[in-house]
Amino acid sequence: MLLNFVAEQLVRDYFIFVYLLCLSALQLAAARSGLRGLAIVPAPWGVAAGLLFALTDVVWFVSSADRNTIGLAGWEQFLLFLMGSAAALLTSLAISSLLWRPGSGPTDPVQDGVEALRYMSYWEALASRRTH
């Protein structure tokens, strides 16, 4: 049986752990690459906030329960990781779009792909996709 999810608490904890870790990684990557449309923390604080958040998350995961027990199979971990990372990406894009102030950054509407998030929020990028 590939997907048993026998340990409910572990499933929940692992999902939260991966979700917060991915959110931290996104803030680090956004700060390093200047992707303002992905950042939920202002650029100068992105790296510090990402590292602090990740460290807190790791300490919580390791210390909150005994993790050395039979729990999740490889496929279950893979599935939960996919879900956690997708949720973190959606959260980051949504919050960043809500916090975005129009005209707060440089404008360059010709960019496509993730490069566009240097110049506009994800919401604006999707809107510009509809109009072009």
Partner 1 sequence: MESLDRTLFSLINGLAGRSPWLDRLALALVNDYLVPALLAVALFGGWFLGHSRLERERLQRGVLATIVGVFLSNSATFLLNLLFPRPRPFHVQDVNLLFYQPTDPSFPSNPAVVGFALALGVWSLNRRLGSLAFVLATVFAVSRVYVGVAYPSDVMVGAILGLLGSAIGPRVVRWTEPLPTRFLGWCRRWYLA
Shorter beta-carbon distance to partner 1: residue 68 or 131: 68
Token match 């460290």: residue? 55
Neighbour tally for 47: CB within 10 Å: 16
Dist CA 17 CA 74 (whole Å): 16
Q: How far apart are CB 106 and partner 1 at their closest, in Å?
A: 15
Q: Could you say which of 43, 60, 79, 81 contacts partner 1 (CB under 8 A)?
A: 81
Shorter beta-carbon distance to partner 1: residue 42 or 65: 65
Nearest partner of 122 among 34, 38, 25, judged by Cα: 38
* CA gyration radius, the chain: 17
Dist CA 51 CA 43 (whole Å): 13
Shorter beta-carbon distance to partner 1: residue 66 or 102: 66
List of residues contacting partner 1 (CB under 8 A): 14, 17-18, 21-22, 24-26, 28-30, 32-35, 37-38, 58, 61-62, 67-72, 74, 77, 81, 85, 89, 112-117, 122, 125-126, 129
